[in-house]
Amino acid sequence: MDWEKVKRIFIWLLIGLNIGLFGVNYSISRQYVMTSAQEKAIYEVLGANGIGMYTELIKTTKPMRQLSVSLEFLEADKIKKMYFQEDEDVKITREFEKIIFSSNSKSLTVQGNSIVFLNPTGSGYIDEFSKEKALKAADDFINKVGMDIGQNIKLESVDYDEGKYVFEYNERYKEYKLFSNAKKVTVSENGVIMASASYYTVQNFLGENRKICACDEALLTFLGEIKKEGKTEGVYIEKIELGYDFQEAGDVADGSKLKLIPCYRIFISGSSKVYLINAYTNEIMS
C-alpha cells in the first residue's frame, strides 16, 4: 500500500476538517459580538433620551455559567493576627454574632464572613499626599492583612471625598469579576483609616452555559429604570462591567452553596448608586 499517498489524503482531509471547524467556531463566536449597526442604534437611543456614554460598550457577550460560592466564616484568631501587632493590647468583646477586637487606636469587627476595620488615627502619615501614594498605602495594606489570600484582587474604582480616597477592589475568578467580593480601603493623609471586606470562597462553575443579554439590551433596561426614577437629563454612564453577583433570592437546591449569576454593573457620574442587571433575564436587580 502506498502509505505516502494515504498520508497525503489524510492531511488534506484534516486540513479541510480544521478549516470547517474553524469556520463553524468563528461564525458561532460572531453571533455573540455586537454589530456596528447595533452599536450605532444604542448610542442614538441613549442620546435621544439625554444619556451620555463616557465608556466603551461590552461588545462580546458569550454564554456564561453560574458560579458556586460558599461563605467563608472567618477564624477570629487568624484575623486578629492580620490586623493587630503581636505586642498590641487587644480587647475582645463578643456581641452575639459579632466579635469586636479593639486596641487603643484600632477596632476590627468580625461578623460571619465580613470585617470592618477602623483606624481613625491612620496607619502612618503620608508625606505629600497624592492619589498614587494613597493607592500604594492601600495596596500595601491589602497585602499585609492578607485580603488577597491567593485570589486575584484588582482595583476597580477610586473615589475622592473630603481629603480621603476610597479604593474599591474586586476579586477575580478566571477572567471574571466578582462584584460580591468587594473590598474597600479608605486612605487619608494619615494612612489607611478604614477597610471593609466580605469573603466568599469560589467553588466552581455550575450548570450549563446560558445565553446572556447583549450590552445594548442591558442598556435599554437601564434606560427604562432611569426613566422610572424620573431622571431625564444629565445622566452620564461612566462605566459598564460584566461580572458575577448574587441573585436576589438564594436558591436552596442542595442547600449549601450560594450562586452567583452573570450581571451587568452600570455606574453613572455624580451618583453612588450602582445599577445591577441580571444578564440572564435582562432585569434590574435590587
Partner 1 sequence: MKSIKFSRIKNFVIVGLIFAAVYQTGTLWLGNYTGHNFFYSILNTNNGLRSSKKTSATLIDAQKIVVGYGNKYFNLIYPGLMGGKDILPKTNGFITSLLENGKYVTTEETVLEQYIGQKCVIYDFAFDVSATQYFIGMGTVNNDNIKGINSISQIIAVPAAGKNDVSYLYIVDAYTGKTNIFEANSSVESEKLYSQIEELEGLNVDSMKYISTRQSGFNIFKENTFVPQWTQSKYQYAAINKISTLSRFGDDIDTELENATSGFFDNYYTKSLTKDSNGVYMISDDNTVVKYYPQGTMEYFNYQSSANKTEQTLSTAYYACKEFLKKDGTLKTKMFLSDVKLNKSDGLVFCFDYCINDIPIFLSEKTKENLSIEHAAEVVVESNTVKKYKRYAYDFEALPSHDRWVDVDFLGAMNQAIASEGDQGSVTEIGDIVLAYYVDESSESGLKWFTYVDGEIHTVDTVKNVSNQDVAEDGK
Going residue by residue from 104 to 123, which x/- string records binding to partner 1, judged by CB under 8 A?
A: --------xxx---------
Strands 64-71 vs 258-268: parallel, antiparallel or unpaired = antiparallel
Query: Residue 68 or 119: which CB sits closer to partner 1?
Result: 68
Nearest Cα to Cα of residue 118 among 180, 188, 199, 171: 188
Residues 164-223 that bind partner 1 (CB under 8 A): 180, 200, 203-206, 208-210
State the cell numbers at 155: 482595583
Minimum distance of partner 1 from residue 168's CB (angstroms): 18
Minimum distance of partner 1 from residue 115's CB (angstroms): 13
Residues paired with residue 161 on neighbouring β-strands, in sequence order: 164
Going residue by residue from 244 to 273, which x/- string records binding to partner 1, judged by CB under 8 A?
A: --x---xxxxxxx-x---------------
d(Cα 132, Cα 282) in Å, to the nearest integer?
A: 38
Query: Residue 1 or 96: which CB sits closer to partner 1?
Result: 96
Contact predicate 242/61, CB 8 Å: yes
Query: Residue 47 or 207: which CB sits closer to partner 1?
Result: 207
- Choices 22-30, 37-45, 188-196, 232-240 (CB under 8 A): range interacting with partner 1: 22-30
Phi, psi of 90 (to 5 degrees): -110, 125
Q: Is 40 in the site for partner 1 (CB under 8 A)?
A: no
Torsion angle (degrees, nearest 10) of CA 69, 138, 267, 207: -10
Minimum distance of partner 1 from residue 245's CB (angstroms): 10
Query: Residue 69 or 268: which CB sits closer to partner 1?
Result: 69
Phi, psi of 236 (to 5 degrees): -125, 125
Contact predicate 101/108, CB 8 Å: yes
Query: Residue 234 or 250: which CB sits closer to partner 1?
Result: 250
d(Cα 213, Cα 206) in Å, to the nearest integer?
A: 19
* Residue spans of alpha helices (H) in 121-214: 131-144
Is residue 283 exposed (0-12), middle (13-18) or buried (19+ Cβ within 10 Å)?
middle
Minimum distance of partner 1 from residue 67's CB (angstroms): 12
d(Cα 15, Cα 36) in Å, to the nearest integer?
A: 32
With CB under 8 A as the contact rule, the residue among 21, 33, 158, 274 that binds partner 1 is 21
Minimum distance of partner 1 from residue 11's CB (angstroms): 6
Going residue by residue from 60 to 79, which x/- string records binding to partner 1, judged by CB under 8 A?
A: --xx----x-xx-xxxx---
- Provide CB contacts within 8 A for 11, sequence distance 6+: none
Nearest Cα to Cα of residue 214 among 111, 26, 60, 28: 60
Query: Residue 86 or 97: which CB sits closer to partner 1?
Result: 97
- Choices 33-41, 93-101, 115-123, 159-167 (CB under 8 A): range interacting with partner 1: 93-101
Sites of contact with partner 1 (CB under 8 A)? 4, 7-8, 10-11, 14-15, 17-18, 21-22, 24-25, 28-29, 62-63, 68, 70-71, 73-76, 94, 96-97, 99, 112-114, 180, 200, 203-206, 208-210, 246, 250-256, 258
